[in-house]
């Protein structure tokens, strides 16, 4: 029996690679802008690949969602996750929401917000298609895909945990509650939620924020946490800790840990007393958002949390 020619062997190998969905190459370190079609719309996302990502190993990914009325480029500057990615060695992806103005985009997170909700844009499908698109460009670790976001973006990551739990390992919402009253995750999804008690946009206690543009009636941080405690089978009573007041900035931070639940899951509520609609650990240039504590780093805490909770 004759052996296949070298050309034929190469073709067979490439066909096998394509069939497995494995990326044939890895993106080099740097910042990228990609576009894709989703739901009849042209959508886009930014990707930051740090210098220390190995081209021969699957990469962990954090998908970071901007707030309502913002965009991916602004989120990149606002949250500072690129710096953490360079330190820890994960890829950060910043999707753009939808809207009439490229500088003011929103997510359809259920009860909020704007253009995306009004037009019932399928942002859950977008994220799945985005991950598939990125997976063609580089090798991803399917057990270590995480999501974070602020405000309307935080609400979006709650929706992803509920409706895309087969892809999202754990989430870290910041200054935004659930946008739906219930969740329907197919597996336990660990949650670390950051929220300031002086948030005037998405109030910690729920209801309508005094500075809310959308006039949404928000669910509370506590409600969101309790729903996910029940979904994950976590204990009703938390282990409550007061974190060190390092910055002496007039704010204090407590951490409530509910767990372990099913498959070792946890739900954690980080409460910043006096904190505003901000990203903990990052000074904000926008005073109207309120105070941002430097007692903790949301980026450090969420990454430690993510590393404890890969998909089982």
Name residue 171's beta-bridge partners. Answer: 147, 191
| pLDDT at residue 55, as a whole number | 75
Q: What is the Cα–Cα distance from 175 to 138, expressed in whole angstroms?
A: 31
Question: Does pLDDT of 3 surpass 60?
Answer: no
What is the per-residue pLDDT across 4-31, written as a single tens digit (0 to 9) for each?
A: 444 444 433 433 343 334 444 578 999 9
Is 53 or 250 the better-scoring residue by pLDDT? 250
Identify the pLDDT of residue 25: 59
SS (H, E, C) 123-174: HHHHHHHHHHHHHHHCCEEEEEEEEEEECHHHHHHHHHHHHCCCCCCEEEEE
Query: Cis (ω within 30 of 0) for the bond into 260?
Result: yes
Confidence tier at 99 by pLDDT (50, 70, 90): very high
Q: Say what the pTM is.
A: 0.91
Residues 97-110, mean pLDDT to the nearest whole number = 96
Task: Return the SS3 of 208.
Answer: coil
User: Can you give the residue ranges of every domain in the chain?
Assistant: 24-308
In this predicted model, what pLDDT tens digit does every residue of 132-156 receive, in sequence order? 999 999 999 999 999 999 999 999 9
Q: What pLDDT does 125 receive?
A: 98
Residue of 35, 37, 39, 56 lying closest to 47 (CA atoms): 35
What CA–CA distance (Å, rounded) separates 74 from 96? 10
Phi and psi for 191 in degrees, rounded to 5?
Answer: -130, 130
CATH of 24-308, one of 3.50.50.60, 3.40.50.300, 3.40.50.1820, 3.40.630.10: 3.40.50.1820
């Amino acid at each position: 029996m004759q052996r296949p020619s070298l050309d034929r062997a190469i073709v067979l190998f490439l066909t096998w690679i394509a069939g497995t969905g494995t990326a044939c190459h890895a993106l080099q370190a740097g910042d990228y802008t990609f576009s894709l079609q989703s739901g009849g719309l042209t959508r886009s996302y930014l990707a930051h690949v740090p210098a220390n990502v190995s081209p021969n190993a699957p990469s962990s990914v954090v998908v970071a969602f901007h707030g309502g009325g913002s965009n991916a480029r602004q989120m990149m500057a606002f949250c500072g996750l690129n710096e953490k990615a360079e330190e820890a060695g994960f890829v950060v992806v910043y999707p753009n929401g939808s809207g009439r103005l490229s500088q003011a985009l929103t997510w359809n997170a259920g009860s909020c917000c704007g253009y995306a909700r009004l037009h019932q844009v399928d942002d859950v499908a977008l994220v799945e298609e985005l991950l598939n698109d990125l997976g063609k460009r580089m090798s991803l670790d399917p057990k270590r895909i995480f999501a974070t976001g602020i405000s309307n973006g935080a609400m979006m990551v709650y929706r992803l945990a509920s409706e895309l739990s087969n892809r999202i390992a754990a989430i870290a919402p910041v200054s935004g509650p659930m946008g739906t009253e219930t969740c329907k995750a197919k597996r336990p999804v660990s949650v670390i939620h950051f929220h300031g008690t002086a948030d005037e946009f998405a109030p910690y206690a729920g209801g309508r924020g005094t500075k809310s543009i959308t006039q949404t009636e928000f669910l509370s941080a506590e409600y969101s946490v309790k729903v996910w405690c029940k979904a994950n089978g976590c204990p009703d009573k938390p282990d409550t800790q007061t974190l060190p007041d390092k910055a002496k900035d007039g704010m204090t931070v407590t951490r409530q840990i509910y767990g372990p639940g099913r498959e070792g899951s946890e739900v954690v509520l980080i409460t910043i007393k006096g904190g505003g609609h901000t990203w903990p650990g990052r000074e904000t240039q926008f005073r109207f958002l309120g105070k941002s504590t430097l007692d903790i780093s949301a980026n450090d805490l969420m990454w430690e949390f993510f590393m404890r909770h890969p998909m089982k």
